[in-house]
Amino acid sequence: MEQAPKKFGTSAVFFTALATLFGAILFLRFGYAVGTVGLWGVFMLIVVGNMVTIPTALAISELATNKRVEGGGEYFIISRSFGLNIGGTLGLMLYLSQTISVAFYIIAFTEAFEFFFNYMAQTQGIVLPRQVISVPVMLILSALVIIKGANMGMKALYVVVGLLILSVLLFFLGKPVAGEQATYFASNAKLMNTSQLFIVFSIIFPAFTGMTAGVGLSGDLKKPGKSIPIGTVAGTLTSFVIYFFIAYKLAVSASTDQLSNNQLIMADIALFGSIIVPLGLAASTFSSALGSIMVGPRTLQAIALDKSIPIQSANRWISKMRKKDNEPVNASIVTCTIALIFVAIGGVDIVAQIITMFFLVTYGTLCLISFLNHFGSSPAYRPSFKSKWYISLLGFLAAVWVMFQISVMYTIIAFIVMIALYSYMNYYHSDRKGFASLFANTLFQMNRNLQIYLQKKRTKATIKDEWRPSAICISKHTFDRNNALQLLDWISYKYGFGTYLHLIDGYFSKKTDAQAKMELTRLLENLATSSHVYIDTIISPSTTSAFAQSIQIPGIAGMENNMVIFEFEKRDPQDLHDIIDNFRMVDAGGFDVCILASSRKPIHHKNGVHIWVRSFDTENTNLMILMGFIILGHPDWKNANIKLFNICKEEDAESVRARMNELVEAGRIPITANNVEVIIRDENTPVKQVINKHSLDAGLTMIGFNENSFKKDGDISLFEGYGDIGNVLFVHSHGVKEIE
């Protein structure tokens, strides 16, 4: 379908933002604010408000120049950054804020006719409801937008903005009201009633919530990448400066009581004020309503085009456009209907506070997206307009802080509503991806910077770092048994780090690469025990080459691997020959080595870890005790303990027992004297038989070994003969690990 030509330029964005910023609050509540908290108090509140709005204006300008912003403005940016489900959730909240804001502005518009309501009450004795004015005005506005579209609305917008500017100029040309004029500035130029600062802020904050209004016209802009930054930033800075001058003019023109008690005090100050201020109020509120009623339908239409409304028929109907001018007429009908309902109800003060919450959520989200994109450093993020990451972070934090300062209850309500809506959206559109890519880029950058920092720290370190395992295991039997993966998970849960590589035999090719990707997906989906282990695949023609490649690169934590885990099946120990060959290579590299003899026996975690030590083998003993302590940190081993066993001759029993007790008492490890057992060796009973007897039902058995344990090449007898017990972990330490 041929697209209708784009209609608007930068001025449309600027005036739409300005018309919303110079709204009802400016005319009705700025005087009250100065009279309540003083001129310096209002200055503080203007600064606080712009701590949210200026970073948001810069963030949205940056995001708009990175990629072409299509229809929907803020919704388009959020949904394309955080995913359609979160985008749809925040988009609906944003849309409701824009729509109900129309009702808020129309109701405020009726304040310009206070003279009419007073006349009817005093002369005719008739107290008319505000709906007498507000409902017909809402109907006229609806007809204007639905029939004529945004083009006609923009023409009307220029007229009312012109009237608005005139009324502000005449206000500055006005004179102070009657009274003790010499004391006005002295009485107002101070900070008063500090306990009410944020009560006043909650009243005047809607004056700050219009700077992104022009962004909603993005789908109708000729050059949104140019118009949005210039128009939005110009509108925000213009209002920021003029708000200070308006506050100052009020402070020098009326007393504290006059400012606090007369909501139309500007009419008494302005030149021709009795006429121009009501006209300015009418112009500001009508133009704000007009700006919102042009933007709201376009947000809703963009949501429907993404099929984010959980009713498909509604998506189709709302997304339709009028062929002659490309106007979202159906979305406009929905918007006008909702606004008319709230205008008829009349009382939107409570709803207005919730609306403010949703606007702040939107602003905070835009700043957060900008902040994350700065840290993500994606090559696809190349905005021509650039803000600073710390400005975006300030805007995000300020938005959240202001929400809680205005109302904790309404902030919580806003979050609950959004979480509930997102949960339903995520359930309804379960096939859609979330915001993983944006956060993933940020996490990748943070992880990279942290690893580089740690590497530099290690090279400059002057003291020996405490030891913790960074283990790597390579196995081609993952789908047959997962004992090694389970061991890595125990090690990695709390204190250590684990990398598990599933070996695919062969040379790297298109075929083996496809196989590796398929098997990795299968592993990640089916192996629940690997939640703390980094899992990947490696393609190599042999186990030896796979280990030679892998042990040279850092582990997942960024620190160098310091432990290698081999694994074989006790009932079919054919892999042992490969393991013994590779042990010498790994040992030469300075790695600790663990060889796991896997058993198919059930693991009785409650029976704990049994460690078999030799008094003269301090290196392996210390490592096994540390490993036992680390493994017991996993929830699987809750309430389990470590038991130490030492087999010795009868004449050595006392000295061995003393050394064992000294080891337990000196080390801060979870071993009590009751869990230390010295076994007198019977020369007629093989050591393996003793181990099988005492560790028959142990959860895990550890036994030390060293490079001299192999009598000759190809000798695997060291690892055989433990068929009665469960998993056995043979441990070889490369150097002494201090137990401090």
Choose from 8-12, 457-461, 480-484 the range with maximum mean pLDDT: 480-484
Average of per-residue pLDDT across 442-467: 58
Distance CA 468, CA 160 (A): 70
Distance CA 569, CA 599 (A): 7
Confidence at residue 461, expressed as pLDDT on a 0 to 100 scale:
44
* Banded model confidence at residue 338, pLDDT cuts 50, 70, 90: confident
Q: Which helix (H) or strand (E) holds 611?
A: strand 609-613
Query: Which of 87-101, 113-127, 443-457 is the least confident region?
Result: 443-457
Confidence at residue 566, expressed as pLDDT on a 0 to 100 scale:
92
Confidence at residue 118, expressed as pLDDT on a 0 to 100 scale:
76
Domains in the chain: ranges and CATH: 10-428 (1.20.1740.10), 464-732 (3.40.50.12370)
One-letter amino acid of 399: A
Computed over every residue of the chain, the mean pLDDT equals 79
pLDDT in tens, 251-274: 888 888 888 887 778 888 888 877
The whole-angstrom distance between residue 463's C-alpha and the CA centroid of its chain comes to 37
CA-based torsion, 424, 299, 105, 128: positive or negative: negative
417 by DSSP, 3-state: which? Answer: helix
- Read off the DSSP letter of residue 539: E
Confidence at residue 153, expressed as pLDDT on a 0 to 100 scale:
52
Distance CA 446, CA 518 (A): 29
pLDDT in tens, 48-101: 888 888 888 888 777 767 666 665 667 777 777 667 777 777 788 778 877 887
C-beta atoms surrounding 317 within 10 Å: 15
Confidence at residue 487, expressed as pLDDT on a 0 to 100 scale:
92
632 by DSSP, 3-state: which? Answer: coil
Cβ proximity of 236 and 88 under 8 Å: no
User: Which residue, among 314, 315, 285, 333, has the nearest Cα to 147 in the 3D structure?
Assistant: 333
Phi first, then psi, for residue 536 (nearest 5°) are -150, 180
Of 319 and 41, the structure prediction assigns the larger pLDDT to 41
One-letter amino acid of 702: M
pTM: 0.61
- Which residues are registered as beta bridge partners of 102? none
pLDDT at 582 over 90: no
pLDDT at 434 over 60: no
Distance CA 362, CA 73 (A): 12
pLDDT in tens, 13-24: 777 777 667 767
Distance CA 251, CA 255 (A): 8
Confidence at residue 427, expressed as pLDDT on a 0 to 100 scale:
75
Cβ proximity of 29 and 243 under 8 Å: no
- The 3 state secondary structure assigned to 469-509 is CEEEEEECCCCCCCHHHHHHHHHHCCCCEEEEEEEEECCCC
Which two tokens mark 327? 């106007």
List the 609-613 sheet strands across, edge first. 534-540, 497-505, 470-475, 563-569, 592-598, 728-732, 700-704, 609-613, 642-648, 676-680
Contacts of 156 (CB under 8 A, 6+ apart): 144, 290
Cβ proximity of 699 and 608 under 8 Å: yes
pLDDT at 379 over 60: no
Confidence at residue 351, expressed as pLDDT on a 0 to 100 scale:
58
Confidence at residue 21, expressed as pLDDT on a 0 to 100 scale:
74
Average of per-residue pLDDT across 641-650: 88
Average of per-residue pLDDT across 724-730: 92
Confidence at residue 333, expressed as pLDDT on a 0 to 100 scale:
86
Average of per-residue pLDDT across 540-554: 83
Cβ proximity of 542 and 581 under 8 Å: no
* Banded model confidence at residue 138, pLDDT cuts 50, 70, 90: confident
What is the DSSP annotation of 652-703?
A: GHHHHHHHHHHHHHHS-SS--GGGEEEEEPPTTS-HHHHHHHHTTT-SEEEE
pLDDT at 464 over 60: no
pLDDT in tens, 189-201: 888 888 778 778 7
Distance CA 83, CA 77 (A): 10
Query: Which of 130-134, 299-303, 620-624, 653-657 is the least confident region?
Result: 130-134
* Banded model confidence at residue 423, pLDDT cuts 50, 70, 90: confident
Query: Which of 231-240, 447-456, 538-547, 602-611 is the least confident region?
Result: 447-456
* Banded model confidence at residue 463, pLDDT cuts 50, 70, 90: very low
Of 170 and 557, the structure prediction assigns the larger pLDDT to 170
Cβ proximity of 51 and 395 under 8 Å: yes
**Long-range contacts (CB closer than 8 Å, 24 or more residues apart) made by 432-435:** 432/83, 432/84, 432/85, 433/83, 434/82, 434/83, 434/85, 434/86, 435/81, 435/82, 435/83, 435/86
pLDDT at 732 over 70: yes
pLDDT at 598 over 50: yes
Of 223 and 296, the structure prediction assigns the larger pLDDT to 296
Confidence at residue 377, expressed as pLDDT on a 0 to 100 scale:
56
Query: Which of 275-284, 443-452, 584-593, 646-655 is the least confident region?
Result: 443-452
175 by DSSP, 3-state: which? Answer: coil
